[in-house]
Amino acid sequence: MKKKYFLLFIFTFLSFSGPIILRPPNIEDIKYPNNKAPSLNEIKLGKLLFFDTRLSKNKKQSCASCHNPDLGFSDGLSKGIGTHGNPLGRNTPSLYNLAWNNSFFWDGRAKSLEEQALGPIQNPAEMDMNLDDLIIRLESIPKYLELFQKAYTQTEITKENIASALASYQRTLIVNHSPFDQYKKGDINALSPAQKRGLLLFRKKALCIICHNGANFTDGSFRSLGIEDGDSGLAGFTKNEKDFGKFKVPGLRNISKSAPYMHDGSLRSLEEVIRFYNKGGGSAKHKDRLVRKLNLNESEIFDLISFLSSLNQDMKVKRPQLPKD
């Protein structure tokens, strides 16, 4: 497409979509498996499991070791580190507002939180725990057996119930009354002047909204920003060459808490992220054509960062008291 028509297309898109689609998330829109919201017992059990290092083979690592609530449900590292101290291939994503998501992992290879949950437990590079052994281990802890029975009315612990409890807990990690949400609900003073300028840039000049839109600032698509680390991304799972280097557009809620950024953790701060976009992204071959030089000046860069911080909402997560062996 010629540049002129391309820009015309973009601006038409923005003028129709811009003002409407960034909004607070609606709890009513969450799709639960079998259309059934989890019970409080399931959520509480899921939280215990999430924080319990006995889910890993050597009892050293829990989900929260990598998805640490004090670090935006991430780990502050460019790439994760497994229970045996080994480095992983990708950055640990944060876990906010995944209740609305329908694909998981940077390459989207899991279709539900239930499907996702058993992955890291069994992965030899992560928690390295065989599920049959995990069930035996959990059943030997009287309190867990009791809690599973209460949550699922089954006498035995099953892998499906472990997955369901973990997923149920993760669906409660919701950010929906950040300053941005309050602003959208009518409190025009909830955003500072810089944040308001940043919101406008996000929607217009900086083109962010094209991919980061909707209540959770992701359209669920897969794109390449041109990062040159050679990670095949979506193609590793679809086996389609045109998907090479594409990754899921991540949501941006509480984003300033989970540095470093991108699937390879190569950008250390939001400032680095914006400067990266401003210069037109990376240079890998499959880069999306929507990623292009933005010509933002210094104060615009800081307005945009300031806007991103309006998506923050403190979430106090108390570490639970775990059942005794």
Residues of the shown chain interacting with ligand HEC in the complex, contacts defined by CB under 6 A: 55, 61, 63, 65-67, 80-82, 88, 90, 92-93, 95, 98, 104-107, 113, 116-117, 120-121, 126-127, 166, 170, 206-208, 210-212, 223, 225, 227, 247, 249-250, 252, 255, 258, 261-263, 270, 273-274, 277, 288, 290-291, 304
> At closest approach, how far in Å is the CB of 174 from ligand HEC?
14
Nearer to ligand HEC, 131 or 145 (CB): 131
CA separation for the pair 30, 24 (Å, rounded): 13
CA separation for the pair 181, 103 (Å, rounded): 24
Q: Do residues 81 and 60 make contact, with C-beta atoms less than 8 angstroms apart?
A: no
Q: Which two tokens stand for residue 20?
A: 């409407």
Nearer to ligand HEC, 166 or 190 (CB): 166
Q: Do residues 106 and 247 make contact, with C-beta atoms less than 8 angstroms apart?
A: yes
> At closest approach, how far in Å is the CB of 244 from ligand HEC?
12
Nearer to ligand HEC, 145 or 284 (CB): 284
Can you say whether the dihedral through the CA atoms of 303, 305, 306, 307 is positive or negative?
positive
Burial of 72 (0-12, 13-18, 19+ CB in 10 A): buried
CA separation for the pair 166, 172 (Å, rounded): 10
CA atoms within 13 A on the CB side of 109: 15
> At closest approach, how far in Å is the CB of 88 from ligand HEC?
5
Nearer to ligand HEC, 97 or 183 (CB): 97
Angle at alpha carbon of residue 223, lines to 119 and 248, rounded to 5°: 25
**Residue 112, CA distances (Å) to 176, 201, 283 in order:** 21, 33, 32
**Residue 124, CA distances (Å) to 11, 156, 178, 228, 268 in order:** 48, 25, 38, 27, 28
> At closest approach, how far in Å is the CB of 188 from ligand HEC?
22
> At closest approach, how far in Å is the CB of 48 from ligand HEC?
12
> At closest approach, how far in Å is the CB of 120 from ligand HEC?
4
> At closest approach, how far in Å is the CB of 31 from ligand HEC?
16
